[in-house]
Structure 1
Amino acid sequence: MSAIATKIVEKYNLTPKMSVVELSQHTSEFLENLTDDRKRNQARRRLRDGFKFSSEQVGVLIPNQRGGKSKTINIVKGNCKIAITSPPKSLEEEIIREITKRILQNRYGISGAQVDDLFSTQKDGSRDVNVAISNKPSKRLKEETIGEMAQRFLQEKLSVRDVRAEAYALALSASDANAGSSRLSRLRRELRSLNASLEIIEATKFPDITKDANEIQNDRREKVKRIDYPDHFTLESVKERLDTYDISTPPNYQTLADVMLMLCIRPAELTTLRITDAGVTGYAKNRGQPDIPRKFRSMEKNQERAKELLTWIQNAISSGRIGNPGIPGTKWFNRFLKEYDLVPKYLRKIGAVYGAVVHKADSTARTMTIAGECLRHDPHNFTSPVQNYVVVNYRKKGQTPEQARPFHLYDDN
């Protein structure tokens, strides 16, 4: 009731100028003293009308208490869905959820009505809600990387509860549970690098999101794409061409394809990748993050020769002698590869297999290590080097497709 609200406000000197995070520290006391909906509604009116707190602040101080069993709740972003966990089972979980709502609304650009619908409970106690989210992130989302987010957690000395809410919102802002789980993994790596406490790191783990991500991955494995290639792109053929290329002559589309396969390179990395004595830098997946050199590894063992061929291609692109397939909407390179029933992204995956073969991997673990190094996979990420769920039907020149041996680019475990 209003008297209880007044007492708590005066006890802690709460004001509308305080942040949502600061106010959330007093949520538990409000809910412990306001034991039914009537009292909570009276207290909300007192906070709004008497103390001039905003609706957002009132929602944090006295969140809605809703029970009931839950079906799947989905955030829909484009054609993707991400499952949200069932209703909170404790007061602490309810507080975290309310903070998460505010973060989704203020930082990730979800309207208040959408957030309310997302977390609402139907009359029968179930939840089955689809909410369309704008693909335009807020200004802060564009500016803050996951690494910067981890630094902010420690600089602002956020509590475990606030870190958990922030991490939950980060995961829910992804296109699906698999992408959300990946963001959380990256966040934990950043926190470990900053020597965050184990309690803070553990706060970013959500079993339900991990479970949903595993289900997505298992489903994708069942729909695995198998890559076949013609004799023209066998290891022997590609290696023979790479050994005979003369960098004093202009490169062509075939040269471009062979170098991309050799370095397991993405089209977007063609102008940025650099091979130095310290390692390889400039890989596209690392944009917006510290460009830490990764170990050089490719089907071309000679680092100087690999660097020479890469520079040859980059100079040709910069001079205009050959186009840049990394430019969005480029079709000419796709048309060239289509003659061989390939697409640009297949070159990277075939190259990882060839790298493992050339370096004579003698076990599954060694194969994954070498493939990961060819792909410039983060060595501190102990998951599979790629989770693209692809199988390359590896065969030698002259062998028939029936003689090909499936070469998995992910660990069966």
Structure 2
Amino acid sequence: MATVRKTRNPKTNNFTSILDQFLKKYNLSVESTPLQLRAHADELDAMLPDWKARKHVKEALRRRLFKENQIEALVPDKRKKKLTIKERARYCAKTGDVWDIWLHASDLAVPKNNTDEAIVAASSCVSQFRKELAEAGVDPERIDTYAKLSELTRASNKIQQRKLEQGLSNPPKTPKHFSLEKGLRRIQSIDIAKVPTMQDLADVIMMLSMRPAEVTTLRIIHYEPGEIPPPEWYKPGYSWYCTGYIKNKGEAKNNPEPRQFLSMEKNPERAKELLTWIQDAIATGKLRNPVYSISGKRSTGVFSKFLKPYGITAKRLRKIGGKHASRVHSGQNPTSQHLKLLSRIAMRHKIDRFDSGMYYAEGDTSDFESESDSNDSLELGPSEAQASTSQPKNNNYDPFGSQIAEIDSMLATL
């Protein structure tokens, strides 16, 4: 009877011989740069079955006088992949080694798969890594040299440009559940004496055109000039502003200029009351934070799961809110340029970004809504009707430039 031979794991010296053959095959030595070594890391990793094998290979590399950054490039520590982007940046700032910056940037640049979404996500991670490095005090020149991956950025930009062009030609439909009429009815019927639900959270996000990360940071403030001279950002006749928006967080630190307040809820006091109600519920644990899990880790899964049946994301919900706010405040027979400008104000974009409005197109609701339903949801005040009729009704109308002052004065009366 023939005996079956048992397979055995290679011994330590076998891993050493594997390493020697590998180094000889690709002509790698202590003179090789981490960049050259990293190019062969995946192939070597496939030859090492477990963490013990990687440990033996690292020890063999140290005996051969390889430096730590070279060892990390050829046999990267897989445990570091569990670090957050901020933790990676702090680690690189602590070590001060430029190759650590490059290695971590390279790890973040590897997409999970070859889909467009994964490539864009990888580029976003690398971009966030650069921001965290800057906040950690790393020299900007080092960041640009070792953490700026141009090929990945170009690939991501091409994908986003293609999707942008497709979206402009075929704007997505607004779900009927989040139509202007239904959204306003739910917002007006909210009872703040009750504990808010995920639906209430979504409606308030839509009402204020917020990003999920802004739910806990956004503030609606009231300012009336008195004896003290008003600040530079104050616009005569205008009282309500927003602070705490995330997009220009770095800019806000250097120039904390509030943006004009505009929302689906016309009454700013009521809008502030609803926002505070949601924020208090999140702070006391009665409502789930749309960005972070209970343990404090970043997680948008719960809120995304709530929106999934309606076929939208939090990003689209914000755009829908901006579109609705522009319709609420536009008056009768508004021009398309007027609506775009109001939408940009509602979403707290910079007014000097003249082209930004075109990137936030939203189609009509996915289900048919009667004309009477849409008209019933918009109650126009005298000032709005007057502002609307003052707008030129020709194709050459340009609301930008000198018209911005006119829009500001119109908003001050809302």
- Superposition TM-score, scaled by structure 1 size: 0.46
Pair member with larger Rg: 2
Higher relative contact order (CA 8 A, sep 6+): 2
Q: Which has the higher helix share?
A: 2
Q: Which has the higher strand share?
A: 1
